[in-house]
Structure 1
Amino acid sequence: MARDADVAVVGAGIVGLAIAWEAARAGRSVVVIDPEPGSGATFAAAGMLAPVSELHYQEEDLLGLTLASAALYPEFIAPLAAAGVASGFRPTGTLVVGADAADRQALADLRQLQLRHGRGVEPLGLRQVRGQEPMLGPQLSCASSIEQDHQVDPRILAAGLQAALAGSATGKGRDGWLLRDRAARLLHADPSDASSAVTGVGLAGGTAVRAGEVVLANGLGAAGIGGLPEGLRLPLRPVHGDILRLRVPAPLRPLLTATVRGLVRGLPVYLVPREDGTVVLGATQREDGSAEVSAGGVYQLLRDAQVLVPAVAELELGEATARARPGTPDNAPLLGRVAAGGTCVPGLILATGFFRHGVLLAPAAARICRLLMGGRGDPGWDRFRPDRFSPSLIEKSLM
């Protein structure tokens, strides 16, 4: 039996849930399709809302979107708080530290890049920073503070969004908004023409969802959906990362009050303190194809974290997780409608390829998708078009 909805969202990670929540708040009926909601990159993510400290060379085009999305977070989570639903948001700042002289120079170069883009980074004396965070180690070479970089717990936020969708007027009961199945193919107004309007999603279980808008927000899985417009190339690659969750014994609490991001012999490492007395330690970045936790990655994280915070050696290892993040050639998302035959394919929106920025960009992605559903767009989003790596489609759209 087919289901009907205004919007079908494929993928129940943070991005997909945020898009579904935004659409539901706009009064649209929503169905989310995912066999294991919240179990992918969202489950592993540390949840740093860090547009400034996450700024990388050759990714400056992303800064406007990441800053805008970070600014949207308080507004985005306000309805959850009003309903008594936890979001895991914490307005704690971020300390950026370096271990040796080379790390100090690398962070100084990065600070110049940040300043060129109008982002203030406050240098701190080492005595001052240890006054704020007494557990920091004695070997640090430099420190700075970024007050506008905050954090959210993605697991709590994902659970909160699911609860909000289940309780919304468009949720149709506790599980009415969610189909625990795998999306197999897009359905089209003309089944023989993959560039015709998308009218729904066919599921692996044999049923279908008919919808006026279909949003593919299922990360790496988006490229494998059947019925994509002919010529559309989605160059998504899996970038695996190892991440640890450590329990802080009561005598050491609070281990940290702010997120600490550091460079140790040129390798990045971060520690994100949670309210429940745990610390998230991450994250490696590898493209070796292995989906399992890497012993070398775990060793590297623990080794480097102890340079920044020696007491890490006294923490309890609670969890080691590895997940794949969907990367693109330019590390920017595939976000928007797809052009085919010179016009956009009606009923189809893509929201994938967020790499390490999925949690940070969720509110902006949700807002952009809502505006697109309402027939509104912005030329500023064109740099993130999902068909930008599809030369044949681009040529047709320019004809």
Structure 2
Amino acid sequence: MSHRIVVVGGGVIGLSVAWRLAESHDVTLVDPAPARGASWVAGGMLAPVTESWPGEEALLELGVASLDLWPEYAAELDVRLLTGGTLVAAVDAADAAQLDVLADHLASLGREVERLTGRELRGREPAIGPGVRSGLVVPGDLAVDNRELLRSLVTAARRAGVVLDSRRVESVERGVVHVEGGTIETDTAVIAAGAWSAALHPALDTLVRPVKGEILRLRGRTGAVPLTHTLRALVESRPVYLVPRPGGELVLGATQYEAGFDTEVTVGGVLDLLADAERVMPGIAEFGLTETAAGLRAGSRDNLPLVGWLEPGVLVAAGHHRNGLLLAPITAAAVRAMVAGEDPPAQVLAADPARHCPTRR
């Protein structure tokens, strides 16, 4: 049965959800600036294993299930995937100890991981500097150019018949989406507005928050040693990542602050990222700095996203924090199933927002 559906939010989650739903329904996506926001400034890593940590097993299983969907999802959108896996580096003894905890945790879950010395890491990736003490190799992780992905999603959504509405959404309730200057009637509304979702429905008021992250984009110049793998590192316990792009470009990120809705890039954030990256990859000093940007991740209380019904006629697909790109395929599949009255993928059940409201179960 075809429904009138309004998707609120045009990041990678909202676009993916709208595109999938448009196969069977009349879909309107409402966002003043689709394909921007946190999705536009993301690093593009699809790395559930290297993002995992003890106590977050449900998030790991959700991420791995979504990663399995990515090759088909990317092929449908004609988007390239980087398949070289991830290298994880530790600079000092404390960093190495943290990687040992991660490696032991992954091994206990039966996940493949290989421990390497600093010299062995440099054998895999010559751009890594002599200050790196040790590291891990995690095969199977992927990466994608997030901006290529967003452009492809906008094209695919339009071709599928999704109507793009540029008005700002003020609130969402059963049957009605309130926008500036009017309302949109709907059978089902899907709140996928990232960090802004909390203001749209009372059930989300304390469940989603903005987490600021700054990234830099760099361009390889003559004489610069290129990076060939996705590289994550701990530098005195501070996380940093470098993701290569075609043509010698690098994405360097990401700071993480609880700073409300502040999206201004700070001098301190840029300095910290460059200083930490140079300790891992000294040749980065030879790159050109082409862009600085900040985005707002949609944090949740427990790092799991919120995917499920808030009330009849209102779904949420938000709170994906660092994993929006990774979880886009499984989130879209889950929302499509829920709208059809079917069971979502089993791994998504842990993301039901009712976990924070036991009386709703």
Q: TM-score normalized by structure 1?
A: 0.85
Q: Contact conserved, 1:234 with 1:386, CA < 8 A, in 2?
A: no
Match of residue 243, structure 1, among 208, 215, 218: 215
Match of residue 205, structure 1, among 173, 181, 189: 181
Superposed displacement of residue 232, structure 1: 5.9
The separation in 2 between residues aligned to 1:118 and 1:248, in whole angstroms, is 38
- SS across alignment from 2:255: coil
Match for 1:41: what amino acid? A
- How many residues align? The count is 358
Q: Contact conserved, 2:215 with 2:253, CA < 8 A, in 1?
A: yes
Q: TM-score normalized by structure 2?
A: 0.93
Structure 1 position 135 matched with structure 2 position 143 = no
Q: Note the residue ranges of structure 1 that are not aligned, 5 or more in a row.
A: 82-86, 172-176, 188-197, 339-344
Structure 1 position 217 matched with structure 2 position 192 = yes
Match for 1:58: what amino acid? G
Query: Highest Rg: 1 or 2?
Result: 1
Partner of residue 389, structure 1: 356
Match of residue 59, structure 1, among 39, 53, 56: 56
Match of residue 36, structure 2, among 29, 34, 39: 39
Match of residue 165, structure 2, among 179, 182, 194: 179
Matches within 5 A, 1:225-374: 225=200, 228=201, 233-252=205-224, 255-289=226-260, 290-338=262-310, 345-374=311-340
Match for 2:122: what amino acid? R
Question: Compared with structure 1, are the counterparts of its residues 350 and 234 closer, same or farther at alpha carbon in structure 2 (3 Å cutoff)?
Answer: farther
Offset from partner CA, 1:47-105 (integer Å, 9 cap, x none)? 10000101123322211100001111011122222xxxxx2432221111111222112
Q: Note the residue ranges of structure 2 that are not aligned, 5 or more in a row.
A: none
Question: Compared with structure 1, are the counterparts of its residues 368 and 209 closer, same or farther at alpha carbon in structure 2 (3 Å cutoff)?
Answer: same
Structure 1 position 102 matched with structure 2 position 74 = no
Q: Percent identity?
A: 40
Match for 1:259: what amino acid? T
Matches within 5 A, 1:23-172: 23-24=21-22, 26-81=23-78, 87-168=79-160, 170-171=161-162
Offset from partner CA, 1:197-232 (integer Å, 9 cap, x none)? x223221132x333222100001222212xx46x66
The separation in 2 between residues aligned to 1:319 and 1:363, in whole angstroms, is 28
Q: Contact conserved, 1:15 with 1:217, CA < 8 A, in 2?
A: yes
Q: Contact conserved, 1:233 with 1:387, CA < 8 A, in 2?
A: no
Q: Contact conserved, 2:99 with 2:136, CA < 8 A, in 1?
A: no
Match for 1:281: what amino acid? L
The separation in 1 between residues aligned to 2:94 and 2:60, in whole angstroms, is 26
- SS across alignment from 1:20: helix
Superposed CA RMSD in Å reads 1.9
Superposed displacement of residue 125, structure 1: 4.0
Q: Contact conserved, 2:58 with 2:347, CA < 8 A, in 1?
A: no
After the TM superposition, list the runs of 4 or more consecutive aligned residues in structure 1 that deviate by more than 3 angstroms. 125-128, 231-234, 378-382
Partner of residue 4, structure 2: 6
